[in-house]
Structure 1
Amino acid sequence: MTALVLVVLLALGVPIALVLCWAALVFILASGNPLLLDSFAPQMFGALDNFGLLAIPLFILVGELMNGAGITVRLVRLAAAFVGALRGGLAYINLLANMMVASILGSATAQIAMMSQVMVPEMERAGYDRAFAAGLTAYGGLLGPIIPPSIVFVVYAVLAQVAVRDMLLAGILPGLLLTGLFMGTVAALGRWRGLPRGAKLGWRDRLLAVRAAVPMLLIPAVIIGTILGGYGSPTEAAAVGAVCAAGIGFFHTRTLALRDLPAILLRTGLNTALVLFLVAAAGVFSWVLIFGEVPQTVAVWIQSVATTPVGFLLLVLVVLLVVGTVIDGIPGLIMVVPILLPIATGVYGIHPLHFGVVVSVTLILGLLSPPVGIGLHVAASVSEVGALRLFRVTLPFFAVAIVALVVLALVPWLSLAFL
């Protein structure tokens, strides 16, 4: 009954947080134990009673402040100064700028929307196909939820009850791996399709670009340095990053004003509320799953199909790629982690951080996979290109991302190197 309600509500397009709450409520009523209703609200509150969740509004605030500080234009100029003259130079610039913005925004859809407005018109003027430019920007946006700070990783850390710091550090090498593979794909396409070259800048122009971008690069350096150096928790690092971002916007670029703060804080509050409501709904849904012994039932079935940890992870990749095409990253994470994590750690002995990276990256790739692919439709909408055409012209990047997923599944060291 609960599964039927879950499927029907998802098919009707009901927001995922409400779907989880309704499914939990239906299970309680069907169990014939109305006393469980007394625990409904405490379970939701308990899911939010976690210090690590404070990092979410602060990371969102950092992104909002940096958006207002003119970060994108300066980072694009910095990337152009060093790789613009290569064949496919603007494609490299797109990926490098996305990587640098990713270390600040931490949100795929926000990054895709912002970078599409900046990069797609510029690449089209330089002779690139508009659909290719939009698709490349979308795949660059995949780096947002992987390279720290990452809201997706923070949510996973809370769900899996692992240190937020460790989970954020686990995303560094996977993010660099994806960036490197995407740039290799651009190099191959540059030769095959004859992508245009950009203008070569002199050392003086390069130094000017570096000088203009250095304050922007200080933000991720401060956040990651604080976490890596053990000077503070991710929450404290995010707070320091927000202060730095505000200082740069007010006093260096001077593109922020006090009148902008109410709107910035309102957007931060609304986005935070959406994420935290999902986390609260996940808390009560996870409790219901455990009470109904769903993870144990699923574990028995999976063990009959996958007999080794590698087989289990490959099965998870296939299943979550399908899930990720119809459900956004964080809601998908909230739905599958309570079921699959106990199996991964308890049955197959997989490290929770390694499993978290594999699950998160797989669900994030679903953002760019038909039929739904939210990130795909964001890029298509902003760029005014058909989503299916956009997917077709960027199939090489999809294939490379699948290769990266398999490598991450087979090589735990890439996720655990900084522990």
Structure 2
Amino acid sequence: MTGLLFGLFFLFMLAGVPIALAIGASTMLALNAQGVPLMVVTQQMFQGINSFALVAVPMFILAGDLMAQGKVSEKLVDFADSLFGFLKGGLSIVSVLAGMFFAAISGSGAATTAAVGSSLVPELRKKGYDPASAASLIAASGTIGVVIPPSVPMIIYAVIAQQSVSKLFLNGFIPGLVMGLGLMAIAITQAYRRNYPRGTALSLATIWRTLKSASWGLMTPVIILGGIFSGIFTPSEAAVVAVNYALLVSLFVYRDLKIPDVYRILIRSAITTSVIMLVIATSAVLSWTLSSWQVPGAIAQAVLSISTNPYVIMLLIVAVILLTGVFIETASA
């Protein structure tokens, strides 16, 4: 039956069926072939999303969308440019640094990429940077958005694996920093190979001016993560605080959003959230099915037969996730 389940799943994937429907349909057909009542499907779907921690998902998505649509991303880019723009190829380094800044606000890779890309891609093209290379660098920088907390995929994983969201957030800083430094090294190497121009001259006055302008955006991760790690509020409550702070900054400080804009952003965030929740719900059915068929135990035995070294096991897991990520979106993987 496991072969039927995964065979149907890959068949649906090759046919271009959306991932949530591919997971749900393949699991439901496999269960039906085994004679399992389909009422189990709805029960497990509800159980999969019946978690207080998941309240944070739509809230962080909304906060990221609000910040991305306003001037926060532009202020962060200007601040990053004042720090590293004087270097050769400094604008590409700014792309990475701005991605890291915005990652600590949005919790979403897509929101990070959109916010930084909309501000920097036209400028990179105007300065003579290779468009394909610049786009790739910004897209790669956007992936830091799901590593540096707050992170939507971390919340999803915490719910699935029954782990602490706060502990996952705490352990996301160093990997995110390492990713950023690695991308900066690539940007500098490309800059010297292709003789990219230098950007804004280094000036303490400019740094201070852009820092003051970007301070409202930079305070977002301080409020969110400071509140979580100090125990003032939970990650779910922090997400709601982030939305209220984003609305305050966008509507009354920078004044770059109007009420109709907020309504449009609410609709878009709701659509994004519904897609993620449907994926989580159908994945819960798949997880229950595999558990009832004792597939995880068989996989664990197969992995342990290769090696019991924890580093080797982690390397195998990373390899599987890397391969999965080629075909499947982050939350689904």
TM-score (norm 1): 0.75
2:64 is the alignment partner of 1:58: no
Structure 1 residue 2, shift from structure 2 partner = 1.7
Listed one character per residue, the Cα deviations across residues 259-299 of structure 1 (whole Å, up to 9, x for unaligned) are 22221211121111111111111111111111111112222
The answer on whether the counterparts of 2:68 and 2:114 sit within 8 Å (CA) in structure 1 is no
Structure 1 residue 147, shift from structure 2 partner = 0.8
Listed one character per residue, the Cα deviations across residues 327-365 of structure 1 (whole Å, up to 9, x for unaligned) are 111111xxxxxxxxxxxxxxxxxxxxxxxxxxxxxxxxx
Structure 1 letter corresponding to 2:253 = H
The answer on whether the counterparts of 2:79 and 2:210 sit within 8 Å (CA) in structure 1 is yes
Structure 1 residue 70, shift from structure 2 partner = 0.8
Distance 2:204 2:159 in 1: 46
The residue correspondences of 1:300-311 to structure 2 (distance < 5 A) are 300-311=301-312
Aligned to 1:118: 119
Aligned residue among 2, 19, 26 for 1:23 = 26
For structure 1, which segment, 209-218 or 297-306, has the greater mean C-alpha deviation from structure 2 after superposition? 297-306
Structure 1 residue 116, shift from structure 2 partner = 2.4
Tell me, what secondary structure is at the counterpart of 1:331? coil
Distance 1:262 1:273 in 2: 17
The answer on whether the counterparts of 2:64 and 2:111 sit within 8 Å (CA) in structure 1 is no
Structure 1 letter corresponding to 2:28 = L
Structure 1 letter corresponding to 2:30 = F
Structure 1 residue 145, shift from structure 2 partner = 0.8
The answer on whether the counterparts of 2:154 and 2:165 sit within 8 Å (CA) in structure 1 is yes
Aligned to 2:13: 10
Distance 1:189 1:68 in 2: 30
Aligned to 1:403: none
Listed one character per residue, the Cα deviations across residues 50-100 of structure 1 (whole Å, up to 9, x for unaligned) are 000000011011112212331111111101111111111111111111111
Listed one character per residue, the Cα deviations across residues 32-52 of structure 1 (whole Å, up to 9, x for unaligned) are 3x4x43322111111111000
Distance 1:304 1:143 in 2: 34
Tell me, what secondary structure is at the counterpart of 2:232? coil
2:71 is the alignment partner of 1:70: yes
Listed one character per residue, the Cα deviations across residues 230-265 of structure 1 (whole Å, up to 9, x for unaligned) are 111111111111111111111111112222222121
Distance 2:69 2:128 in 1: 29
For structure 1, which segment, 11-20 or 53-62, has the greater mean C-alpha deviation from structure 2 after superposition? 11-20
Aligned to 2:153: 152
The answer on whether the counterparts of 1:306 and 1:315 sit within 8 Å (CA) in structure 2 is no
2:228 is the alignment partner of 1:227: yes
Distance 1:185 1:24 in 2: 42
Distance 2:296 2:118 in 1: 43
Aligned to 1:270: 271
For structure 1, which segment, 41-50 or 102-111, has the greater mean C-alpha deviation from structure 2 after superposition? 102-111
The residue correspondences of 1:78-157 to structure 2 (distance < 5 A) are 78-157=79-158
Structure 1 residue 214, shift from structure 2 partner = 0.4
Structure 1 residue 301, shift from structure 2 partner = 2.2
The residue correspondences of 1:338-377 to structure 2 (distance < 5 A) are none
Structure 1 letter corresponding to 2:81 = A
Tell me, what secondary structure is at the counterpart of 2:38? helix
The answer on whether the counterparts of 2:77 and 2:119 sit within 8 Å (CA) in structure 1 is no
The answer on whether the counterparts of 1:108 and 1:143 sit within 8 Å (CA) in structure 2 is yes
Distance 2:297 2:108 in 1: 33
2:203 is the alignment partner of 1:202: yes
**Unaligned residue ranges in structure 1 (runs of 5+):** 333-419
Listed one character per residue, the Cα deviations across residues 114-139 of structure 1 (whole Å, up to 9, x for unaligned) are 42232122112222212221111111
Tell me, what secondary structure is at the counterpart of 2:16? coil
Change (3 A) 1:38 1:134: closer
Distance 2:193 2:5 in 1: 52
Structure 1 residue 201, shift from structure 2 partner = 4.2
Structure 2 letter corresponding to 1:311 = V
For structure 1, which segment, 323-332 or 196-205, has the greater mean C-alpha deviation from structure 2 after superposition? 196-205
Aligned to 1:279: 280
The answer on whether the counterparts of 2:8 and 2:26 sit within 8 Å (CA) in structure 1 is yes
**Unaligned residue ranges in structure 2 (runs of 5+):** none
Distance 2:106 2:24 in 1: 29
Structure 1 letter corresponding to 2:218 = L
Structure 1 residue 316, shift from structure 2 partner = 2.1
Distance 2:19 2:315 in 1: 26
The answer on whether the counterparts of 2:24 and 2:286 sit within 8 Å (CA) in structure 1 is yes
Aligned to 2:252: 251
The answer on whether the counterparts of 1:153 and 1:168 sit within 8 Å (CA) in structure 2 is yes
Distance 2:272 2:184 in 1: 32
Distance 1:118 1:148 in 2: 22
Distance 2:255 2:134 in 1: 31
The answer on whether the counterparts of 2:5 and 2:26 sit within 8 Å (CA) in structure 1 is yes
Distance 1:183 1:154 in 2: 27
Structure 2 letter corresponding to 1:23 = S
Distance 1:206 1:299 in 2: 52
Distance 2:41 2:318 in 1: 32
Give the paired residue count: 330
Distance 1:5 1:202 in 2: 60
Aligned to 1:338: none
Distance 1:254 1:104 in 2: 19
The answer on whether the counterparts of 1:3 and 1:23 sit within 8 Å (CA) in structure 2 is yes
